[in-house]
Amino acid sequence: MATYTEAETPDFVAEAGATPRIALSGAWSLHAERRLEKKSSEIVKSARDAKSVVFDFAAVTRLDTAGAFALNRARCELAAAGVDVAIAGARPEHLILLERMHYREAPPPAKGENFIVALLADLGEQISGGFRDAYGITAFLGEFVSVLGRVIARPRLFRATSLVYQMENFSVRSIPIIVIMNLTVGAIVAQQGIYELLRFGASVYVVDLVGILVLREMGVLLTAIMIAGRCGSAITAEIGSMKVREEVDALRAMGMSPMEVLSVPRVLALALSMPLLTFLADMAAIVGGMLTSWAYGGISPAAFIALLQTAITIRTFMVGLIKAPVMGMVIGLIATQEGLATQGSAESLGWRVTASVVKSIFTVIILDGLFAVFFTAINF
Amino acid sequence: MDASTDITKRKEAEARHEVVISVRDLVVEFGRKRVMDGLDLDVYRGEVLGFVGGSGQGKSVLTRTILGLIRKKAGTIRIFGQDRDKIGEAALHALERRWGVLFQNGALFSSLTVKQNIQVPMRESLELSQRFMDELAMLKIELVGLPPEAADKIPSELSGGMVKRAALARALALDPEVLFLDEPTSGLDPIGAAEFDQLIGTLKQTLGLTVFMVTHDLDSLYAICDRIAALANGKVIGEGSLEDMLASDHPWLRAYFHGARGAKMIQAHERRRLGAESG
């Protein structure tokens, strides 16, 4: 390091003779960095052929654990070559250090597996992990339902305060972002729709386009994706750090079920918040569509509303809304399950939060597809 | 004791020893709560200073303020004679390499193995071969009394006492000149705690290590501390040797050292000392 002057760097002079003397000098400390090792192996080289050798510590200005260790390494290597090493001129603290810092070789690093084998093993691990995840979430759902049943049977167990608190967090605080996002998306759909439909002289059908698309699919899907990102991640991070800090174990030890205390209020809060937010999302998107239709297509709001009434039925609206609580539950279940699966490290927590968001968005989209197939099949 | 003799005493002490850490008129506030209220403290080179105080009196706050983890409101902190507010970032960084810190809960990096944790400071500030770093890490692991198998474990696989030892190994990685220890022996069994005291004693003797130790372990205070400072109401209410502490008539110090536990410990040590003298 820069603060150490040349005079303080570790060095030695080999004095020849029947018993060569290695006159050590300078600071044999860790701050010499690579020089420490270099000098240590130079000592071995210069004294290898002697029968015995003396290490003279008289001129050593500083010795620390690393310095003592490096010198002991030289001693051991000389001993292995059949050279006797004696110590001279060492202060008492040097002797203690030399004794405490005796040399031992670091165990060789564990041999890595073959690259191909590791790759295949990783692939297998990933695939079986996928199945384990599916199994895990199913088992979790089962446990959740049984705990929910217990809570319904004994409403005293129900944590109403927690539910209200979580609902405030999840729904009230999400309103601005949900409304702005859906207003914009509704406006974009209407604007793009008008330009395409204008070519067929059918620009009034933009009302059908916006009404059906938003109410059936877009409103609920966008809300679910935003909630997965905004609330699902927060739930996983919160429960995950509680797990790391043994708070979840503390709950268990006090006879409380983490599922009942942590999962049920959050999942229910999401299941109740999602329809409310979806309703707001629908309204915002329709208003957005209405405004751009007015600006780009010359359809007045009054005309827009009249057209909307013929374009959609209450069913169109219900299709979107029915999906909302299911998606809320799925997001909540995945988020709490990932949170409770967190293990010890900060890295694990990071992975779990990412997995929670990715899995819930993926599941929500797949679920939306299944709903679409189902509703078509029953002509709803 | 009047103020003038107090000052002359301090001057004498300063003349004898080099002051490594000097804290003057320190004020730390959290919101409206004043935690440190004009605190003065000196730590001399080569001593083990035991720092005691009731829970919530701000022992950890003082340590963290000296380390620069908490902002102070007023006062000066000089480390190795340098005012930490006045020196530049590079100098401060160089200074930070000269101390090692053992946090109360270990604060090991949870995604690294014990060996990698110990090598973090080496890798960061020194250029060493991987082999030498591995060997040094194993040395430190053995030094703090961990089994060699612990080297490749991650912190969540270790017990509380093992985390403490691993964290000490990391604090010692660069052979620091000053070691900050926050309750080092809490969570260790009595055998482990005694080994710990012995290790600190050896390092102090051989490396001239200066130790600033927040502790409640009366045995540690007795066994290795050269000087004790006590904190209450944001000030140092007493500093000196254990005998000075025992002789003090400050109510808190009396309660601390002459309470049920303190008195028993002192009796035990006295008996042992007398036994050793007569035998």
Task: Give mean pLDDT in consecutive 10-residue pieces for chain B, a chain of 279 residues.
Answer: 54 68 90 87 90 84 88 89 84 85 88 90 85 89 88 87 90 90 85 87 86 86 87 86 84 83 78 71
Residue A290 contacts residue A282 (beta carbons within 8 Å):
no
Of B158, B175, B192, the residue at which a domain comes to its end is B175
Q: Are residues B60 and B137 in the same domain?
A: no
| Nearest residue in B to A110, CA atom | B152
Amino acid letter for position A40: S
Q: Are residues B218 and B228 in the same domain?
A: yes
Residue B122 resides in a domain: yes
Separation between Cα atoms, residue A261 and residue B128, nearest integer Å: 51
C-alpha dist (Å) from residue A294 to A190, A288, A305, B244:
10, 10, 12, 88
Q: What is the pTM of this model?
A: 0.76
* CA distance between the termini of chain B: 38
Residue B68 resides in a domain: yes
Of B125, B142, B175, the residue at which a domain comes to its end is B175
Structural domains counted in chain B: 2
pLDDT of A303 above 70: yes
Residue B252 contacts residue B54 (beta carbons within 8 Å):
yes
Interface residue ranges in chain A relative to chain B, Cβ cutoff 8 Å: 1, 3, 29-31, 33-34, 36-37, 64-66, 69-70, 73, 93-94, 96-97, 100-101, 103-107, 109-110, 244, 343-348
**A364-378: burial string, b at 16+ Cβ within 10 Å, e else:** beebbeebeeebeee
DSSP string, B133-196: HHHHHHHHHHHTT--GGGGG--GGGS-HHHHHHHHHHHHTTT--SEEEEESTTTTS-HHHHHHH
Q: Which residues pair with residue B231 across a beta bridge?
A: B53, B236
Mean pLDDT over the full length of chain A:
88
| Nearest residue in A to B134, CA atom | A106
pLDDT for A218 equals 92
Residue A177 contacts residue A279 (beta carbons within 8 Å):
no
Separation between Cα atoms, residue B132 and residue B195, nearest integer Å: 26
What H or E segment, with its residue span, contains residue A55?
A: strand A52-63
pLDDT of A3 above 50: no
Q: How many residues does chain A have?
A: 380
C-alpha dist (Å) from residue B27 to B21, B22, B66:
16, 14, 12
Residue B36 contacts residue B72 (beta carbons within 8 Å):
yes
What's the CA angle centered on A258, arms A257 and A262, to 5 degrees?
130
Q: Are residues B187 and B129 in the same domain?
A: no
Of B147, B175, B203, the residue at which a domain comes to its end is B175
Residue B178 contacts residue B98 (beta carbons within 8 Å):
yes
The domain locations on chain A are 6-100, 143-377
pLDDT for A232 equals 95
Max mean pLDDT range (A6-10, A107-111, B270-274): B270-274
Model confidence at A4, in pLDDT bands (50, 70, 90)?
A: very low
Give residue for tokens 């942590």: A262
Within an 8 Å CB–CB cutoff, is residue B6 touching chain A? Answer: no
User: Strands B210-214 and B48-53: what pairing?
Assistant: parallel
Separation between Cα atoms, residue A191 and residue A198, nearest integer Å: 11
Separation between Cα atoms, residue A93 and residue B140, nearest integer Å: 18
* Shortest distance, CA A38 to any CA of chain B (angstroms): 10
Residue A222 contacts residue A281 (beta carbons within 8 Å):
yes
Separation between Cα atoms, residue A126 and residue B74, nearest integer Å: 56
Q: Which two tokens mark A219? A: 């409103």
Residue B174 contacts residue B100 (beta carbons within 8 Å):
yes
Q: Which two tokens mark A112? A: 């890595």
Neighbours of A313 (CB within 10 A): 11
Model confidence at A2, in pLDDT bands (50, 70, 90)?
A: very low
DSSP state of A217: I
Q: Are residues B275 and B168 in the same domain?
A: no
| Nearest residue in A to B177, CA atom | A64
Residue B150 resides in a domain: yes
Model confidence at A379, in pLDDT bands (50, 70, 90)?
A: confident
Residue B10 resides in a domain: no
The reply to whether residue B135 touches residue A107, judged by beta carbons under 8 angstroms, is: no
Of B100, B102, B95, B103, whose CA–CA distance to B79 is shortest?
Answer: B95
Count CA atoms within 13 Å of residue B263 on its CB side. Answer: 5
The reply to whether residue A34 touches residue B127, judged by beta carbons under 8 angstroms, is: yes
Residue B8 resides in a domain: no
pLDDT for A1 equals 39
pLDDT top residue among B106 and A280: A280
Separation between Cα atoms, residue A328 and residue A224, nearest integer Å: 7
What's the CA angle centered on A89, arms A87 and A90, to 5 degrees?
70
| Nearest residue in B to A2, CA atom | B94
* Domain of residue B201, CATH code: 3.40.50.300
pLDDT for A285 equals 96
Neighbours of A323 (CB within 10 A): 26
Give percent above pLDDT 90 in chain A. Answer: 47
Residue A299 contacts residue A204 (beta carbons within 8 Å):
yes
pLDDT of A6 above 70: no
* CA distance between the termini of chain A: 77
Q: Are residues B182 and B80 in the same domain?
A: yes
Q: What is the pLDDT of residues A122-173, one digit of tens each?
A: 999 999 988 998 898 889 999 999 998 988 888 887 788 888 999 998 999 9
Chain A to chain B, count of Cβ pairs less than 8 Å apart?
A: 83
Long-range contacts of A42-47 (CB under 8 A, 24+ apart): A42/A12, A43/A12, A43/A14, A43/A71, A43/A74, A43/A78, A44/A74, A44/A77, A44/A78, A44/A81, A46/A14, A46/A20, A46/A22, A47/A14, A47/A20, A47/A22, A47/A78, A47/A83
Mean of the pLDDT values across residues A342-360?
89
**B61-99: burial string, b at 16+ Cβ within 10 Å, e else:** bbbbbbbeebebeebebbbbeeebeeeeeeeeebbbbbb
pLDDT for A358 equals 95
pLDDT for A377 equals 92
Q: How many residues does chain B have?
A: 279
User: Strands B74-79 and B48-53: what pairing?
Assistant: unpaired
Residue B227 resides in a domain: yes
Residue B4 resides in a domain: no
Q: What is the pLDDT of residues A182-226, one digit of tens each?
A: 999 999 999 999 988 988 888 889 999 999 999 999 999 999 999
Say whether A364 sits in a helix, a strand or coil: helix
Mutate to test the interface with B, among A3, A4, A28, A33 (most CBs of B within 10 A): A33
Of B55, B56, B59, whose CA–CA distance to B39 is shortest?
Answer: B59
Close Cβ partners of A32 (under 8 Å, ≥ 6 residues apart) = A4, A9, A10, A26, A39, A67
Question: What residue numbers bound the domain in which B112 lies?
Answer: 107-175
Say whether A154 sits in a helix, a strand or coil: coil
Q: Are residues B79 and B201 in the same domain?
A: yes
pLDDT for A120 equals 93
Q: Are residues B119 and B182 in the same domain?
A: no
pLDDT for A208 equals 92
Within an 8 Å CB–CB cutoff, is residue B131 touching chain A? Answer: yes
Separation between Cα atoms, residue A368 and residue A327, nearest integer Å: 9
pLDDT top residue among A285 and B215: A285
The reply to whether residue B172 touches residue A30, judged by beta carbons under 8 angstroms, is: no
| Nearest residue in A to B203, CA atom | A97
* Shortest distance, CA A28 to any CA of chain B (angstroms): 12
Burial class (CB in 10 A: 0-12, 13-18, 19+), A95: middle
Say whether A52 sits in a helix, a strand or coil: strand
Which CATH class, in words, describes the domain spanning A6-100?
alpha beta
